[in-house]
Amino acid sequence: MAITAQMVKELRESTGAGMMDCKKALQEAEGNMERAVDILREKGLSKAAKKADRIAAEGLVAIEINEDNTVASMVEVNSETDFVAKNEDFKTFVKDAALMALATDKEDVAGLLAETHNEGIALSEVLNNRIATIGEKLDVRRFVKIATEGQVAGYIHGGGKIGVLVEMITTAKDAEVIAMGRDIAMQVAAMNPKYVSRDDVDQEYIAHETEILTQQALNEGKPANIVEKMIKGRLEKQLKEVCLLEQPFVKNGDLTIKALVAETAKKVGADITLGRVVRFEVGEGIEKKEENFAEEVAKQLK
């Protein structure tokens, strides 16, 4: 398969590896982008593999939570430019959508868009009116609603670029629980764990990471007879990075999140278990309009 400059550019942007390394990885992977990322990781050349499947787009995430912290909603609305995302009218629309998501019993975006806005028309019509006024494509991309018998906390980072909701299954209705939940939401915003606990880790992930780590060790010239022990140690370290409860607490590195939850449970005199944890980052997985940069990359490859 012919490797294009555009493919090299995309791989370079998603991994941070050098241009020629990206080209070689794509050639070895016969143009398969995911395999090329793995090859760069195996060779220790990928600087940002965690971002390989994320391409930025513009817009905002908004959160609304009811008074007793038992129901929360989070909505992502996209725009074409960051300029529009900073527009007060756009911000109001996103907040309205989050409030409607909090109140609705619908479970998908189509259902939410059919709900009646406070202007007396469907949210979809309000959206179309904003598109006509603003002159950009706007999109209510996704929403989530968490209703719990416990408590739910939320956190918005970067003025609406990242939003996180954390459900805490507990009988305690205490400010300490909400404060802890907000701290954990901040942790999730910053560290973006793949799983809440080890129990959530699927075997496919374990198998894939074991293969990558094994190849890394072999490429480093480690003897085959000690590679297995090394892999166990490296996989253990990696699981502590990708599982929320295993991560060191960003506000106090002496505590893991699991220990933080236990400490808070002791303070309030009730059990606390983390339930749903949802993180939205504006534009993740959405391909932005490409600037015409491929020609410049092609020149450097010659």
The set of residues, in sequence order, having a beta carbon less than 8 Å from that of 90 and lying 6+ positions away, is: 60, 77, 79, 84, 130, 134, 138
Structure tokens at 272: 């606390």
pLDDT of residue 9: 82
- Residue 278 pairs with which residues in a beta bridge? 165
Give the pLDDT means over successive 10-residue stretches in the chain (302 positions): 86 73 90 88 63 58 97 95 88 96 94 94 89 81 96 95 97 96 96 92 86 84 80 84 93 94 97 97 74 48 48
> Which CATH superfamily, name and number, covers 1-54+287-302?
Ubiquitin-associated (UBA) domain (1.10.8.10)
What is the value of pTM for the model shown?
0.73
Q: Give the span between the Cα atoms of 190 and 156, in whole angstroms.
A: 11
Nearest in space to 140 (alpha carbons), one of 131, 152, 150: 131
Q: What are phi and psi of 20, to 5 degrees?
A: -70, -35
Give the β-pairing of 71-79 and 139-147.
antiparallel
Structure tokens at 177: 């629980």
Q: Give the span between the Cα atoms of 124 and 139, in whole angstroms.
A: 10
Burial 203-239 (b: 16+ CB within 10 A, else e): eeeeeebbebbbbbbeeeeeeeeebeebbeebbeebb
Q: Give the span between the Cα atoms of 99 and 281, in whole angstroms.
A: 19
Reduced 3-state DSSP string for 97-124: HHHHHHHCCCCCHHHHHHCECCCCCEHH
CATH class (in words) of the domain with range 56-147: alpha beta
Burial 175-191 (b: 16+ CB within 10 A, else e): eebbebbebbbbbbbee
Domain ranges of the chain: 1-54+287-302, 56-147
Structure tokens at 186: 């901040």
